[in-house]
Amino acid sequence: MDFPFSSLRRWPDVEADNLQAYDATDLLLVDRALASGVSGREVAVIGDEYGAITLALTHAGLNGVRVHQDLATGRRALARNAGELGIEGFSSHELDAMLLDGARLVLLQLPKALAELEEIADAVARWAAPDVVLVAGGRVKHMTITQNEVLARSFTQVQAERAERKSRLVVASGRRPVSPEPPFPVTAQHDGLVLVAHGGAFAGARLDIGTRFLREVLGLDGSQLRRTGAEAAESAPTQPVAARISGVMESERSSPAPLVVDLGCGTGALAASYALAHPEARVIATDRSAAAAASARATMAANGVADRVAVMHDDAASELADASADLVLLNPPFHLGSSVHTGAATRLFEAAARILRPGGELVTVFNSSLGYRGELTRLIGPTEQVGRTSKFTVTRSIRR
């Protein structure tokens, strides 16, 4: 009986007519696994976005398949799709030895970031069976020769196959000896802030320019904005913006422990910066990426604030109570995987609206070309611009 790929859903991730829960790469990887003769207990799947690979293999009788998904949305979609189809017999893991021990075939949906691919390839070479074969696949338009070069750091043989249905498989075998210490996480210093990053964390250990600008606007970098000429002309007024966020300041005066949420925290730069500047605050950092959450935990430890910042691997703050937050800080993504789609930001705006108390504040940074201000006003409440450059805008929204 053929597997019903078309019945799979992306929920709780964004769903739309032009977004589906499987692609041709999933089909190629499933076909390769079924033809391999490897048992289910010897198969590990990495990057199975919504469970298409894992469920199709289990449905075909390969019991014991192990799977790692970075995103909380993917993990929940897999669980939901499995429940809807009545499929059992697989197990979910982090990117660790339990996932890969004894694996002879690893199926990988190629990640977008080369650093993430490097961390995965090293993990396979480090923990899988000596004769492991890594079969990585992706859409041809997103694949590069550099990906092959990254795989070649961990494997002696890397061979790209002919494209089919606009997807291609790359087969890596002959694992190389690994260094005593894994290549990730990595650490970098930024003006008194330490960032720690696993390969799958956005921007790595760098401080991305959107987050950098938001820290400046909030006065969390220890300096005031320093811009001249055209930059100064298009910026916010010269009064310190942190002082203009009156609701945040008022909440700190009236409450002994205001709750601040770094929504979509990445490596935790905003959460760590806020905790360092405001030791009286309770801070929660949350991200749907497991790599980001692990990075954020390490960042908090590196900055000495692990006891004051709780890090959660969660989808759009779903585990936080309604009307519980005084302040939400947000640097939203504008991609869903490899596709440009504003739905990811909208889900986070809706999450902020749910968790903010009446009168609470959302401070967000986004590309100046994106018209989010009207949407923020509609979903959150009155919204004003508090900082702007030619590339980025920072707004403050008051929860109705």
Give the global pTM.
Answer: 0.91
Contact of 49 with 72, CB cutoff 8 Å = no
Q: Do domains 5-175 and 186-398 have the same CATH topology?
A: yes
User: Which residue ranges of the chain lie beneath pLDDT 70?
Assistant: 1, 222-256, 334-342
DSSP state for residue 118 in the 8-state scheme? H
CA distance 258 to 217: 20
Instruction: Assign domain 5-175 one CATH number from 3.40.50.720, 3.40.50.150, 1.10.150.20, 2.30.40.10.
Output: 3.40.50.150
What is the per-residue pLDDT for 221? 82
Element spanning 348, H or E: helix 343-355
CA distance 354 to 362: 11
C-beta neighbour count of 241 within 10 angstroms: 21
What is the per-residue pLDDT for 333? 83
- Whole-angstrom CA distances from 344 to 97, 117, 191, 288 are 32, 23, 30, 11
What is the residue whose two structure tokens read 């390490």? 298
Q: Where are the chain's structural domains? A: 5-175, 186-398
What is the residue whose two structure tokens read 């320019």? 209
CA distance 373 to 396: 10
Q: What are the tens digits of pLDDT across the range 11-37?
A: 999 898 889 999 999 999 999 999 999
Handedness of CA 287, 289, 291, 292 (dihedral sign): negative
CA distance 190 to 212: 10
Percentage helix, strand, coil for the chain under 3-state DSSP, each rounded to 5: 35, 25, 40
Which pair of tokens denotes residue 152? 């070649």
Q: What are the tens digits of pLDDT across the range 63-111?
A: 999 999 999 999 999 999 999 999 999 999 999 999 999 999 999 999 9
CA distance 192 to 95: 30
Is 186-398 a domain of CATH 3.40.50.150?
yes
**What is the DSSP secondary-structure string of 81-92?**
HHHHHT---EEE
126: closest CA among 107, 101, 104, 91? Answer: 101
Contact of 396 with 388, CB cutoff 8 Å = no
DSSP state for residue 218 in the 8-state scheme? T
CA distance 165 to 286: 37
Which positions ≥6 away from 194 have C-beta within 8 Å?
187, 188, 272, 299, 302, 303
CA distance 152 to 259: 46
